[in-house]
Chains A and B, each alone.
Chain A
Amino acid sequence: MLGALAVGVLALIGLMLVTVGIDAWPSFAANGLRWFGSGGNVVTQFRAMHAGVALPGHSILYFRAWPLIWGTILVTVISVVIALVISTLAAIFLTEFAPAPVRRVLEPVVRLLAGVPSVVYGLIGILAIAPYVDEHLISNARKQSVAYVVQLNGTDLMTASLILTIMILPIMIALTAGALATVPASWQEGSAALGVNRWRTIWRVSLLAARPAIAAATVLATARALGEAIMLAMVSGGLPFAANPIDGLTFLFEPVQPLAATIVQEFGGQTTGPVASTIYAIALVLLVSAAFLSFAGWAVKQPLKRYGIGV
């Protein structure tokens, strides 16, 4: 009976891919591979679908997701890169340097940061951080320089990425610290016996041994960042605008709208027809990426098993 349950879990994953795939098919069929490309304005495309009137010269399902995909890539990459540095340092601190009292505080702190609901992060972002960024960090000259394409108001790429960094840090710290703690002490002792100081021992021995765990943590954090919807819907600007690195620093203050946030923004009550199909298509892209990342996470963990270092 327990075995049947296990089969059920497997079937669930298959069912998920199949059902979402079937309902997403019309959108992909109508747009082909150019679904992922750029072209036109996502807002206009959604508005046309909601109204049920096709854009002139296109099918009703006409959709080009590039601005959303670009927004997702930007937010994810920026936050994962920052989080990678911070989490590695924090994990070293936690396992090696922190005195016992500090560690007793830091562990619950990390768990707390993991436990804060994303909507609370979003609320803090939109009510406290965004207004601050708007007032103090974006000069009027900067606002005017791009006023003809987009309005800068503090809900932007930078705010979104920073909050997302804090949201994905706990997973990365947990995995990295867990792996560092299981590196055999004899390896460190061997290095210390050769007269290597503590920092270099950690850097060249422990961290190197824990490298697969850090990779796994990065993959998991990427998955989390890809799927974050509510917080990003609140603070990323809610405008499918392809932030342009050519704009220099202003680029960081431009609004974006990642894929997951788009689902939240465009979903309204009884969604049917072309809008639904497009939303399902976005969900399918996220689902396939999540599946791929979970496979990648499994693959990068394999070398660890050789040493018996837990992840």
Chain B
Amino acid sequence: MATVELAPSPAPPAIVQPPRDRTSSWPLLDRIGYWACWATGIGLCVIAAAIVLFMLVEGISALRLNLFVESPAASLHQSQSGGFLDPLIGTFIVTAIGILIAAPLGVALAAWLSEYARPAGLARGVESAIEMIAGVPSIVLAIFGLIVFSQGFLGFLSQRASDGTVTAQSFLVAGIVMSLLALPLIVGATREALTQLPGRVREASFALGKTRATTLRCVLLPAVRPGIASGVVLGIGRIIGDTAIIVILLGATLKNEPVGNVPLLKTLRGSGSTLTSYIYNNSPAGEGNAPQKAYAAAFVLLMVVLVLNALVTRLSRGRSAGAVDWTMK
């Protein structure tokens, strides 16, 4: 029996590597473009680092612990003009009011837009309305708030001057208008999270006989909690950083000035200031002109913004690993 010699299998053909596309082989113009890209990328990092370092150096040298616990005082000398306790409290109150209003409204709108959206024309209208609110400058929102809340019947939100006109300057008014700033961000983040939920989640719930509303409440909304949270954090960042609304609708006074005698409500109805308006007033552009105080407050504000930023990054990492959350401000 003749054994059949197996022919040695032929050597696999050598893999031909195409020449790698190296930038050195590119025409000069293309190389210039390539290096310009690197330059802008590095340049942006340098600018951001410069801003943070500058504020760090100026801020830390101006920051004293007593600034946090002293109320501002009127004085020509920076050493006697007090701290920024009132603006800190003010920032907290305005942000709290704004988010308390914007969060439920924003989530509800997002839920309607992504789960119901009937009739289609109304949905499209609402979508563009929200987009428009996002595009309206905050100074215009402030003017709008000023006109609306100085109507006589809304006087309970702020205070009445002796001649009967309503000032339209109070924490309540500023907070309500601030909620318009946060609203588009919360709607956007929630809606994006809702559309990213796979359809089978809804189908499973419907198959169990749940109605649309129950599905939304018990299945969908709990599932998009991280999305809502990142929207809220973005909204907080937006509210904390806004100055125009504060200057016009909170008065940007030196101290928080309560109105009336009802505990809590008297602060809410009164005028006051926040960190941003404190910075503005203490900069050379404002009346106080105490740059050290402005630097210290700006440093605190920037640190808060950095923390919020880190929070958003973490929340968006948790939602979809590695995906970039390009949420606009």
Q: Taking the complex as formed, is A298 at the interface, i.e. its CB lies under 8 A from any CB of chain B? A: yes
A119 to B245, CA, bound (A): 12
Interface string of B254-287 (1 = CB under 8 A from A): 0000000000000000000000100110011100
- Residues of chain B lying within 8 A (CB to CB) of residue A97: 34, 37-38, 41
* A79-133 CB contacts (< 8 Å) to partner B: 86, 89-90, 92-94, 96-98, 102, 105-120, 122-124, 126-128
Is B143 within 8 A of A279, CB to CB? Answer: yes
Q: Taking the complex as formed, is B251 at the interface, i.e. its CB lies under 8 A from any CB of chain A? A: yes
* B40-69 CB contacts (< 8 Å) to partner A: 40-41, 43-45, 47-48, 51-52, 54-55
Q: Taking the complex as formed, is A186 at the interface, i.e. its CB lies under 8 A from any CB of chain B? A: no
Q: Taking the complex as formed, is B197 at the interface, i.e. its CB lies under 8 A from any CB of chain A? A: no
- Residues of chain A lying within 8 A (CB to CB) of residue B165: 270, 272
Please classify the interface of chain A as helix (H, G, I), strand (E, B), loop, or mixed, using the class held by over half of its residues.
Answer: helix
Instruction: Name which of B105, B116, B132, B243 has the most chain A CB atoms within 10 A of its CB.
Output: B132
- Residues of chain A lying within 8 A (CB to CB) of residue B113: 6
Q: How large is the interface on B (under 10, 10 to 19, 20 to 34, 35 or more residues)?
A: 35 or more
Given A117-B242, A200-B30, A260-B139: A7 and B122 within 8 A (CB)?
yes
A171 interface neighbour in B38, B126, B295, B329, Cβ under 8 Å: B329
Given A117-B240, A203-B33: A6 and B137 within 8 A (CB)?
no
Is A291 within 8 A of B132, CB to CB? Answer: yes
Min CB gap B5→A, angstroms = 43
Instruction: Name which of A5, A113, A114, A123 has the most chain B CB atoms within 10 A of its CB.
Output: A123
Q: Taking the complex as formed, is A67 at the interface, i.e. its CB lies under 8 A from any CB of chain B? A: no
- Residues of chain A lying within 8 A (CB to CB) of residue B276: 117, 119, 230
Given A120-B302, A199-B33: A174 and B328 within 8 A (CB)?
yes
Given A106-B45, A269-B251: A127 and B129 within 8 A (CB)?
no
Is B38 within 8 A of A126, CB to CB? Answer: no
- Residues of chain A lying within 8 A (CB to CB) of residue B48: 109, 112-113
Interface string of A277-295 (1 = CB under 8 A from B): 0011001001100110111
A97 to B37, CA, bound (A): 8
* A169-188 CB contacts (< 8 Å) to partner B: 169-171, 174-175, 177-178, 181
Q: Taking the complex as formed, is A309 at the interface, i.e. its CB lies under 8 A from any CB of chain B? A: no
A175 to B114, CA, bound (A): 22
Is A86 within 8 A of B40, CB to CB? Answer: yes
A295 to B48, CA, bound (A): 32
Q: Taking the complex as formed, is A3 at the interface, i.e. its CB lies under 8 A from any CB of chain B? A: yes
Given A9-B129, A270-B165: A230 and B112 within 8 A (CB)?
no
Interface string of B315-329 (1 = CB under 8 A from A): 000000000101111
Q: Taking the complex as formed, is B135 at the interface, i.e. its CB lies under 8 A from any CB of chain A? A: yes
Is B143 within 8 A of A263, CB to CB? Answer: yes
Given A3-B112, A108-B309: A114 and B329 within 8 A (CB)?
yes
Q: Taking the complex as formed, is A226 at the interface, i.e. its CB lies under 8 A from any CB of chain B? A: yes
Is B298 within 8 A of A120, CB to CB? Answer: yes
Q: Taking the complex as formed, is B173 at the interface, i.e. its CB lies under 8 A from any CB of chain A? A: no
Q: Taking the complex as formed, is B89 at the interface, i.e. its CB lies under 8 A from any CB of chain A? A: no
Is A119 within 8 A of B41, CB to CB? Answer: no
Is B34 within 8 A of A2, CB to CB? Answer: no
A223 to B139, CA, bound (A): 13
Interface string of B17-38 (1 = CB under 8 A from A): 0000101011000110110111
A220 to B284, CA, bound (A): 30
Is A294 within 8 A of B41, CB to CB? Answer: no
5 CB < 8 A contacts A-B: A113-B47, A116-B305, A126-B285, A283-B140, A286-B137
Q: List 18 other contacts, CB 8 Å, given A115-B308, A220-B135, A230-B247.
A: A3-B116, A3-B122, A9-B133, A13-B133, A98-B41, A120-B51, A124-B54, A175-B328, A197-B25, A199-B26, A223-B137, A227-B138, A267-B247, A283-B143, A287-B140, A290-B135, A294-B131, A294-B134
Q: Which residues of B contact A (CB under 8 A)?
A: 21, 23, 25-26, 30-31, 33-34, 36-41, 43-45, 47-48, 51-52, 54-55, 105, 108-109, 111-113, 116, 118, 122-123, 125-126, 128-140, 143-144, 147-148, 161, 165, 167, 237, 240-244, 247-248, 251, 276, 279-280, 283-285, 291, 294-295, 298, 301-302, 305-306, 308-309, 312-313, 324, 326-329
